[in-house]
Amino acid sequence: TKKSGSGKVKVAIVTNCTADFWLHAEAGAKKAAAENDVELDFRQPKTQTVIDQMEIVEALLKQGIKGLAVSVINPEEQTPDLTRIAGQVNLVTMDNDADKTGRLCYVGVDNYLAGKEAGRAVKRALPKGGTIALFIGTTTSANSKDRVAGVLDELAGSDNRAEIRKGNFQEKYGVYTLYRKAPITDETEEAKARTNAESALEQLKNTPDVAMVGLYAYNPKAILTAVRGKNLVGKVKIVGFDEDFDTLDGIDKGEIEATVVQDPYQYGYVSVTCLAYVAKGGDKTKIPQKEIKHRLVTKEGTMIKGVDVEILKASVFSTTTRESLAAVK
């Protein structure tokens, strides 16, 4: 006779890669698992590839899980597989959606809108226009394309999503010039991200009104390190994405304008809560879409005219985030 583990309901989360970002999600997921008395298996593929991710997913299916939350890497291509899997086990997509899979719900922000938020932050920093440089890990994934499109569309004031998804960029977006006519990529390597920012600064040294936007979690701090190195703090405006502590610190010191945060803690928390609810017999049909609203972090954290997102104060947000992380360790 088999020894039946802890006897608890098992749910699993599979992320899209290994990154600090997911620590927050793990914290939220663990919290929800404890509250709902389910067993949690939190997995991160070693590289951001569909193959590695699906290898983990398929193996998990043999381990008696009752629910699965996945950050989809390539929605279009993974749809057939995820549809099949949604037939075997309760599926939630988070962070990045695949909406034709029969998933229970999608937990995450709209990356396009989040990108637009970053774009608005750039506009506030350089109201009269200027040159912007975009830094990002890759431009291959769906959410990174959306993010880039969001920023540029906001600056241009028009919708160029289709062209940007194809990788076609313009010189000018509204009154803003796009440095090198493309986002600069770094293959998610921090050191490369830093050298990229350094050479960009070197070339934009004599250009007035420069803003640099870092769209992956480590990009803002890589930009900040480079800006500090060239003694250009304050002269070059930085707008970021995600809640790296160095980024928050930079905002608190006034070196970075703002960062757009997605609330990965909620990704984990909501996903697990939802999966636990269904696994324990909750009504699938009653699950609403769990769209999570992105938020903005600034130095002051006060309301800004014309902005209808929640605005957080960097120092406070940093402390609460640390606490929620520490709580699960």
Residues 207-266 that bind another protein (CB under 8 A): 207, 218, 221-222, 224-225, 228-231, 233, 244-246, 249
Is residue 47 close enough to count as binding another protein by CB under 8 A?
Answer: yes
In this structure, the number of other CB atoms found within 10 A of the CB of residue 285 comes to 6
Say how far apart CA 13 and CA 28 lie, in whole Å: 11
First to last CA, the chain: 35
Give the torsion through C-alpha atoms of 10, 16, 17, 23, to 10 deg. Answer: -50
Helix (H, G, I), strand (E, B) or coil at 10: strand
Positions 267 through 326 that interact with another protein (CB under 8 A): none
Q: Which of 187, 283, 302, 308 binds another protein (CB under 8 A)?
A: 187
Which one of the spans 15-23, 30-38, 271-279, 291-299 is the region binding another protein (CB under 8 A)? 15-23
Shortest gap between Cβ of 189 and another protein (angstroms)? 5
Q: Looking at beta carbons only, is 106 or 216 nearer to another protein?
A: 216
Shortest gap between Cβ of 176 and another protein (angstroms)? 18
Say how far apart CA 264 and CA 8 lie, in whole Å: 25
Shortest gap between Cβ of 300 and another protein (angstroms)? 20
Which one of the spans 18-26, 108-116, 269-277, 280-288 is the region binding another protein (CB under 8 A)? 18-26
Shortest gap between Cβ of 288 and another protein (angstroms)? 28
Shortest gap between Cβ of 9 and another protein (angstroms)? 11
Positions 155 through 174 that interact with another protein (CB under 8 A): 167
Q: Which of 35, 37, 59, 254 binds another protein (CB under 8 A)?
A: 59
Shortest gap between Cβ of 271 and another protein (angstroms)? 18
DSSP letters spanning 230-273: TT-BTTEEEEEES--HHHHHHHHTTSS-EEEE--HHHHHHHHHH
Structure tokens at 46: 């070693």
Which one of the spans 119-127, 150-158, 205-213, 283-291 is the region binding another protein (CB under 8 A)? 205-213
Structure tokens at 79: 């749809």
Shortest gap between Cβ of 303 and another protein (angstroms)? 28
* Residue 281 and residue 107 in contact, taking contact as beta carbons nearer than 8 Å: no
Q: Which of 158, 170, 203, 289 binds another protein (CB under 8 A)?
A: 203
167: Cβ–Cβ under 8 A, 6 or more apart, which residues? 139
Say how far apart CA 296 and CA 323 lie, in whole Å: 19
Q: Which of 8, 18, 76, 85 is nearest to 40 (CA)?
A: 8
Q: Looking at beta carbons only, is 127 or 167 nearer to another protein?
A: 167
